[in-house]
């Protein structure tokens, strides 16, 4: 592999930070229309993400829905426990009524 190609490839410690050698990255993405478009797209993405996170933090409706779901779940669990506890007594009462008839 030629030295020019090897120098343009990312080193192991740079793979997570853009993949290109910083000098090559500067040449490609600064002072050109492509560089301006890339910077604009990065800034736009950053603004959109910040706006989304702000809305997510402000939105309390999701929390309310979660609270209602938890309350409904607790009611269902309590109902199942009550039916299970009383079920044996109700069955015994029905059996005694059936035997009496």
The average pLDDT across 13-20 equals: 51
Mark whether 67 and 29 lie in a shared domain: no
pLDDT score recorded for residue 23: 64
Q: Which of 20, 55, 51, 50 is nearest to 38 (CA)?
A: 20
The average pLDDT across 47-51 equals: 85
pLDDT score recorded for residue 75: 96
Mark whether 22 and 69 lie in a shared domain: no
Mark whether 53 and 84 lie in a shared domain: no
Mark whether 53 and 64 lie in a shared domain: no
């Amino acid at each position: 592999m030629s030295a020019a190609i090897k120098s343009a490839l990312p080193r192991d410690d740079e793979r997570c930070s853009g993949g290109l050698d910083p000098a090559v990255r500067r040449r490609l993405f600064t002072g050109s229309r492509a560089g301006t478009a890339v910077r604009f797209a990065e800034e736009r993405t950053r603004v959109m993400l910040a706006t989304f996170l702000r809305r997510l933090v402000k939105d309390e409706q999701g929390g309310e829905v979660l609270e209602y779901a938890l309350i409904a779940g607790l009611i269902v669990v309590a109902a199942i426990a009550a039916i299970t506890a009383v079920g044996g007594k109700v069955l015994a009462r029905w059996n005694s009524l059936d035997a009496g008839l």
